[in-house]
Structure 1
Amino acid sequence: MRDILEAVAAGDLDPAVAEARLSGYATTGAGRFDAARETRRGVPEAILAEGKTPEEAATLATAAVRSTGRAVLTRAADAHVDAVVDALDETATFDRDDRARTLVARAPDYEPPTLEATVGLVTGGTSDAEAAGEAAVILEAMGATVTRVEDVGVAHLGRVLDHLDTLRDADVLVVAAGREGALPTVVAGLVDTPVIGLPVSTGYGYGGDGEAALAGMLQSCTIISAVNIDAGFVAGAQAGLVARAVSDARAANEDGGDESDRSDLSDASGR
């Protein structure tokens, strides 16, 4: 603690960074940024820009970059993006996804995490791209490799079957679908990997705001998990946690500690 305080007094450490290291969060005029979430939970803190003024989003993004080296914004309008770009140092880099309405800002010395795991991101149709794109942004922020399989809705099952090998190669799948939300159920019946259903608010009339898709996923005959309607961030974060567990297991295997365990299990099962 003394080292941190002395660094602040000497002007070598930003007070926001010092606060984040000591308390786990940085206090700003726009709210508190949870700088320790990624270390504590494995999922980076994201700034929901929707409902915030551009200035508030910029203030929180600045605190995020100063304390963690990166800021992830979701549901960001162009005004939010412009304010963040103006507020941050010109050496920062930015990745903007207009369709997903996300922005990722990084300090020049930021080193992104990497996971030895692949997440398949599947959409029933082009209309599902916004929610799926939000999931992709958080997955990539967590270090997972994202493989996209797009526009494979159940109206033509051949489209899904054509990508079956890709689906089965993934360590975990996020499947986004609107209308009746059948795609995650179909995919889950074809693979042995975890499937996270992402209901999307596309459709017509009764239930067309995503409620039918969510209800269908909750009543799935095959084994899936489901997040809330349009909750791309949550779906991506859940899949990222699975990917991290897979990556950790692979790293442990590479250390050579699991060969005897596997043989023991094999003998115990009689195979």
Structure 2
Amino acid sequence: MRDILEAVASGDLDPAVAEARLSGYATTGAGRFDAARETRRGVPEAILADGKTPDEAATLAAAAVKSTGRAILTRADDTHVDAVVDTLNEEVTFHRDDRARTLVAHAPDFDPPTRDATVGIVTGGTSDAEAAGEASVILEEMGATVTRVEDVGVAHLGRVIDHLDTLRAADVLVVAAGREGALPTVVAGLVDTPVIGLPVSTGYGHGGSGKAALEGMLQSCTVISVVNIDAGFVAGAQAGLIARAISDARTGNDQAD
């Protein structure tokens, strides 16, 4: 603690960074950023831009980069993105996924994690790409290798069968589907890896907006886990934790050999 305080006094350490190291979070005018979440929980903190003003999102993003070297924004629109880019240092690198509505910023000295594990992201149709993309971004930030299998909905089971080798090679699968949400159940019956069902808010009439997909996945007769409707971040984070455990086990096995 004394080293941190002396570094602040000498001007070598930013007070916000010192606060994050001492308390685990950085306080800003837009709220508190949980700088210790990845160390404590294994999942990087993300800033939900939806419901925040562009200035609030930018303030939190700046605190994130300053305290952890990285900022992850979800559900970000153009105004959020523009504010963050304008606020952060020019040396920061950005990756924006327009479809997933995410923005990731890395400081020049940020060292991303790497995991010896592959997660498959599977979608029933193109309409599932937003939620699936959010999951993919989080997984990549957690260090997993991501393999995408797109548009293999159950209306034509041959599309799933054509990708069986890829599905079975993955260590974990996140399967996104709308409508009746049958795809995760079908996939889980064909593989021996964990499957996380991601219901998507696509559909018509009764049970639309993801409700039928969620209820269908909850009633799956094959063993799957299910997250909430459009909860791409949660699905990606859960798969990332599994991938980390698999990677750690493999690393331990390699060291034992």
Please name the residue that 2:112 is paired with: 112
Please name the residue that 1:128 is paired with: 128
Write the distance in 1 (CA, Å) between the matches of 2:86 and 2:15.
21
Please name the residue that 2:145 is paired with: 145
Please name the residue that 2:63 is paired with: 63
Please name the residue that 1:5 is paired with: 5
TM-score (norm 2): 0.99
Quote the offset at 1:223 in angstroms.
Answer: 0.2
How big is the alpha-carbon RMSD for the aligned residues of Structure 1 and Structure 2?
A: 0.6
Quote the offset at 1:48 in angstroms.
Answer: 0.1
Q: How does 1:202-241 map to 2 (within 5 A)?
A: 202-241=202-241
Write the distance in 2 (CA, Å) between the matches of 1:13 and 1:137.
30
Quote the offset at 1:76 in angstroms.
Answer: 0.3
The residue identity in structure 2 corresponding to 1:50 is D
Quote the offset at 1:9 in angstroms.
Answer: 1.0
Please name the residue that 2:163 is paired with: 163
Quote the offset at 1:97 in angstroms.
Answer: 0.4
Quote the offset at 1:255 in angstroms.
Answer: 1.2
Identity percentage of aligned residues: 86
Write the distance in 1 (CA, Å) between the matches of 2:76 and 2:11.
33
The residue identity in structure 1 corresponding to 2:238 is Q
Quote the offset at 1:11 in angstroms.
Answer: 1.0
Write the distance in 1 (CA, Å) between the matches of 2:13 and 2:54.
26
Higher Rg of the two aligned structures: 1
TM-score (norm 1): 0.94
Equivalences, count: 257
Give unmatched runs, 5+ long, in structure 2.
none
Quote the offset at 1:10 in angstroms.
Answer: 1.1
Write the distance in 1 (CA, Å) between the matches of 2:59 and 2:87.
8
Write the distance in 1 (CA, Å) between the matches of 2:63 and 2:213.
37
Write the distance in 1 (CA, Å) between the matches of 2:249 and 2:23.
31
The residue identity in structure 1 corresponding to 2:82 is D
